[in-house]
Amino acid sequence: MPVNERDYGRCPCSGKYEGRAVEVRMNVEGRAVVLAEVPQGVCGLCGSRVYKSEVLERLESLMKGGRVQRRS
């Protein structure tokens, strides 16, 4: 069974991560960049936030000067 891309599992506090889309602001090569609709999981009990590894890899690539590819 494929795992839902919005399924973030359970938080160590025993809460459940809920998927949502957030805005991420960062500096890339001295320029401010705002990314919209970045998938994130947030725990309803403690507020802990997590990202999928694929999302972190894309953010890291951007911070290293890579290009953002728009998805349709």
Give the model's pLDDT for residue 62. 82
Residue 4 in domain:
no
CA atoms of 56 and 51, how far apart (whole Å): 7
- DSSP-assigned states of every residue in 27-72: EETTEEEEEEEEEEEEETTT--EE--HHHHHHHHHHHTTPPPPPP-
Structural domain of residue 34, as residue ranges?
17-63
Residue 57 in domain:
yes
Residue 55 in domain:
yes
> Does the predicted model carry a pTM greater than 0.85?
no
Residue 8 in domain:
no
Residue 56 in domain:
yes
Per-residue pLDDT tens for 15-43?
Answer: 999 999 999 998 877 888 899 999 999 99
Give the model's pLDDT for residue 70. 52
Q: Which amino acid is at 49?
A: R
Residue 2 has pLDDT above 50, yes or no: no
Number of domains present in the structure of the chain: 1
Residue 10 in domain:
no
Residue 40 in domain:
yes
pLDDT averaged over the chain?
83
Percentage above 90 pLDDT, the chain: 57
